[in-house]
Amino acid sequence: MAREKSRSAQTTAPPIRPPKLTLAPAPLWHRAAEWMLRCLAVSAVVAIVLILVFIAKEAAPIFYSAAVRAEVTLSKMWVPQLWPGYDESASIWQPVSDIPKFGIWPLIVGTVKVTVVAMVVAVPLGVGAALYVSQYARPGVREILKPIVELLAGIPSVVLGFFALMVMATWFQDLFHLESRLNALVSGVALSFAVIPVIFTLAEEALRAVPRSYVEASTALGAARWQTTLRVVLPAASPGIAAGVALGLGRAVGETMIVLMASGNAAIVSANLADSARTIAATIAAELAEVVFGGSHYTVLFFLGTLLFLTTFCINTIGDWAIRRMKIRLGGMA
Amino acid sequence: MTAAAATAGKSALAQLAVRRTRRNLVADGAMAVASGAALLLVLASLGVILFDIVRNGTPHLSWAFITEAPRDGMTAGGIFPAIIGMLEMVILMTLAGVPVGVATAIYLHEYSSPTSRLTRTIRIAVANLAGVPSIVFGLFGLGFFVQFLGAGIDKAFFHGEKVYGQPALIWAALTMAVLTLPVVIVATEEALRAVPQELREASLALGATKFQTVMHVVVPQAAPGILTGTILAVSRGAGEVAPILFTGAAYFLPQLPKHLSSQFMSPSYHVYVLSTQSPDVDATKPILYATVLVLLGLTFTLNMAAVIVRARMRRQHAGVA
């Protein structure tokens, strides 16, 4: 920075040459330390590569190990099989039985069910709360409200899971007369508490970053407040809101403890929200402690982990892209 | 022509006025009420959760609960070993993770050019690392630290005897350090961004080298931000369960962890096991609630501290600039 400034000074002042400014010569160890900084800075990249490599490595035997492939292959996981004792082919998750069954569809259905419930609750509440805090609350009130909502993000997921298991499950059962206490509905609603702060924070930031001039222009054209909010402010903030929804979705798909504790964990294919559900993340958490290292069950669980990693990686990349787009859009137009 | 235009304009204006008075008042009100209701519902849920936990947790909470070991199959006694185990894990995590996170932030903000490919790659990696599900960190900790590093150390130094090649305090701490890395990086970078450019220029103009400027001028100014990041990382580390499930947490240990290779107890894991695998839920319920209260109190206190440190930092920089 300083060097650039001195250079431009030289070019614009021809008659008297100012003394040439240089930075103080750096001792060798400074450069060594800077090199160290650079090496440490790559650690995040190294970490994400190592994560992928090491979970994929443990999942890889599913493609080549004869011992593993005798019990489970990709097609056995994805295509419903005709198991002995069943009348028609079905996708069944029963990894610990005489004939281990690794049908993945019950887990996918469970994950989708719980995630959909969580998003249906979290998106309106998160965006709505962000709208109120950014558009209607007075600045002083906003400075108090924002940290309070964000306290929700500070609740450990195991505490939310505990609350869902001990308290919410009973309330929901009494309220909706449900057959099973732990089900997709309870765990989805509990999960939404973890998703709301993610959506709220990003949506509020995006809504508040909408330039005042937009609102003033809209008002000057005769638009009412609700019209300005709906047709000017919300569309301008939409990339940020979309980013919040995407990151919230990533969180919902990957969240483990809440679902593990509150969903009942029955691996069944059912669209009914009142039925118990088993998600991919919860399956890994519940089963990995009891498997034989390197066995087929172990391999399948790491395969599920790889699947989860790749899914959330894609969702988060989209969210990250939306955030950068929002910054460019608002930065460029303001 | 003029008369027609005047009438048209008049009626348009009149229409506008009508729209303003009736429909718009209702719509404006409806929107404020709807968004306010959403906020209220979120706040009410938070309130209900806190109220329930505080009400059911306080009766059993006492000094003895924090300083005693569990007794009678977890139906009596306290959670002292879990608190110590968590402290040890969190300290190791901080020692391993914070320097790396701070170095990354310093490199990103002070040294690299924002458009270089390396910078962009690091940023994408940090953003994605923050979004990796915690259970995947658990798998990674087991696959990389326990099975690869740990087993490797055993083969090299312990003649294949299982010392580090199993779930251990150090592996849980390192897994958690990787998980909290983005938290530290983001908070530190935010603080570096708030340091006025003039300070850097003044330091360089006085003849300091770039490295001296960074170490003696920029980093001290950003210290509250680094502290914020560390506090948030500790809060996160204390509350997470999934990453330590397979990398070192244990339900009950007769001794406190004395070695890096020992397993450890943690309040968060304690809550999970007590509430899902306890044979007698009613007998353990008071202890369970008290443990949740301790855990929640700890994470809330830490998060509040982070908010306060950050707010003070912002005010300070607002004063300088």
Q: What ipTM was predicted for this assembly?
A: 0.89
Q: Taking the mean position of all CA atoms in its chain, how far away is CA B173? A: 14
Averaged pLDDT, A118-147: 93
Lowest mean pLDDT among A228-232, A237-241, A271-275: A271-275
Q: Which of A111, A166, A303 is the best residue to mutate to test the B interface, defined by the most B CB atoms within 10 Å of its own CB?
A: A166
Structure tokens at B171: 């592996």
CA distance A305 to chain B (A): 6
Q: Let me know: does B236 contact B186? Beta carbons within 8 Å.
A: no
Residue A16 has what pLDDT? 66
Asked if A34 lies within 8 A of B142 by C-beta distance, the reply is no
Asked if A163 lies within 8 A of B49 by C-beta distance, the reply is yes
Q: How far apart are the first and last CA of chain B?
A: 60
Chain A residues whose beta carbon lies within 8 Å of the beta carbon of residue B203: none
Asked if B35 lies within 8 A of A289 by C-beta distance, the reply is no
Q: Taking the mean position of all CA atoms in its chain, how far away is CA B217? A: 28
Averaged pLDDT, A195-223: 91
Q: Which of A28, A54, A114, A228 is the best residue to mutate to test the B interface, defined by the most B CB atoms within 10 Å of its own CB?
A: A54
What amino acid occupies position A257? M
Q: Which of A21, A29, A40 is the best residue to mutate to test the B interface, defined by the most B CB atoms within 10 Å of its own CB?
A: A40
CA dihedral A87, A88, A92, A97 (to 10 degrees): 30
Asked if A33 lies within 8 A of B27 by C-beta distance, the reply is no
Asked if B132 lies within 8 A of A26 by C-beta distance, the reply is no
Residue A5 has what pLDDT? 46
Confidence of residue B11 (pLDDT cuts 50, 70, 90): low
pLDDT in tens, A88-104: 888 889 888 888 889 99
Residue B237: closest C-alpha in chain A: A156
Tell me the C-alpha distance between A167 and B275, whole Å. Answer: 12
Chain B residues whose beta carbon lies within 8 Å of the beta carbon of residue A257: 134, 241-242, 272
Residue A19 has what pLDDT? 62
Q: Let me know: does B171 contact B146? Beta carbons within 8 Å.
A: yes
Residue B35: closest C-alpha in chain A: A128
Tell me the C-alpha distance between B108 and B222, whole Å. Answer: 14
Give the residue with greater pLDDT, A21 vs A163: A163
Q: Rg of the Cα trace of chain A?
A: 27
Residue B279: φ, ψ to 5°: -70, -25
Asked if A313 lies within 8 A of B288 by C-beta distance, the reply is no
Give strand pairing partners of A81. Answer: A90
Averaged pLDDT, A65-80: 86
Give strand pairing partners of B76. Answer: B71
Averaged pLDDT, A59-74: 88
Q: Which of A37, A154, A251 sits opposite B300 (nearest CB)?
A: A154
Residue B16: closest C-alpha in chain A: A222
Give the residue with greater pLDDT, A70 vs B140: B140
Q: Let me know: does A325 contact A209? Beta carbons within 8 Å.
A: no
Chain A residues whose beta carbon lies within 8 Å of the beta carbon of residue B41: 125
Q: HEC states along B220-238?
A: HHHHHHHHHHHHHHHHHHH
Residue A9 has what pLDDT? 46
Residue at token pair 């404006």: B28
Q: Which of A52, A58, A132 is the best residue to mutate to test the B interface, defined by the most B CB atoms within 10 Å of its own CB?
A: A132
Residues 6+ away with beta carbon under 8 Å from A221: none
What amino acid occupies position A3? R
Q: Taking the mean position of all CA atoms in its chain, how far away is CA B216? A: 28
Give the residue with greater pLDDT, A320 vs B228: B228
Chain A residues whose beta carbon lies within 8 Å of the beta carbon of residue B128: 48, 313, 316-317, 320
**A264: DSSP letter:** B
Residue A17 has what pLDDT? 65
Averaged pLDDT, A215-223: 88
Residue A310 has what pLDDT? 95
> Measured between alpha carbons, how far is residue A126 from residues A24, A160, A195, A196, A202 in Å?
52, 17, 8, 5, 10
Q: Let me know: does B184 contact B101? Beta carbons within 8 Å.
A: yes
Give strand pairing partners of A202. Answer: none
Tell me the C-alpha distance between A4 and A21, whole Å. Answer: 10
Residue A27 has what pLDDT? 82
Q: Please determine, for residue B82, whether its predicted confidence score (pLDDT) is greater than 60.
A: yes
Tell me the C-alpha distance between B155 and B159, whole Å. Answer: 5
A6, with CB counted inside 10 A (0-12, 13-18, 19+), is middle
Taking each helix axis as running N to C, give the angle between helix B117-131 and helix B169-194, from 0 to 180 degrees, rounded to the nearest 10.
130
Q: Which of A163, A165, A285 sits opposite B135 (nearest CB)?
A: A285
Tell me the C-alpha distance between A148 and B207, whole Å. Answer: 46
Q: Let me know: does B247 contact B142? Beta carbons within 8 Å.
A: yes
Q: Please determine, for residue B161, whether its predicted confidence score (pLDDT) is greater than 60.
A: yes
Residue A6 has what pLDDT? 47
Q: Let me know: does A284 contact A95? Beta carbons within 8 Å.
A: no
Residue A75 has what pLDDT? 84
Confidence of residue B321 (pLDDT cuts 50, 70, 90): very low
Q: Is B74 left (phi over 0), alpha (psi -120 to 50) or beta?
A: left
Q: Please determine, for residue A311, whether its predicted confidence score (pLDDT) is greater than 90.
A: yes
* Global confidence as pTM: 0.88
Chain B residues whose beta carbon lies within 8 Å of the beta carbon of residue A128: 34-35, 37-39
Q: Please determine, for residue A39, whether its predicted confidence score (pLDDT) is greater than 70.
A: yes
Q: Please determine, for residue A4, whether its predicted confidence score (pLDDT) is greater than 50.
A: no
Residue A259 has what pLDDT? 95
Tell me the C-alpha distance between B167 and B145, whole Å. Answer: 9
Residue B24: closest C-alpha in chain A: A224
Residue A316, number of CB atoms within 10 A of its CB: 24
Tell me the C-alpha distance between A254 and A244, whole Å. Answer: 15
Tell me the C-alpha distance between A280 and A302, whole Å. Answer: 11
Averaged pLDDT, A288-302: 90
Confidence of residue A11 (pLDDT cuts 50, 70, 90): low
Residue B8 has what pLDDT? 54
Lowest mean pLDDT among A146-155, A160-169, B250-259: B250-259
Residue B281 has what pLDDT? 78
Tell me the C-alpha distance between B36 and A137, whole Å. Answer: 9
Averaged pLDDT, A58-74: 89
Q: Taking the mean position of all CA atoms in its chain, how far away is CA A3? A: 43
B63, with CB counted inside 10 A (0-12, 13-18, 19+), is exposed
Tell me the C-alpha distance between A206 and A327, whole Å. Answer: 9
Highest mean pLDDT among A42-46, A79-83, B308-312: A42-46
Residue A225: closest C-alpha in chain B: B28
Q: Which of B204, B292, B296 sits opposite A23 (nearest CB)?
A: B204
Residue A249: closest C-alpha in chain B: B131
Q: Which of B106, B126, B137 sits opposite A37 (nearest CB)?
A: B106
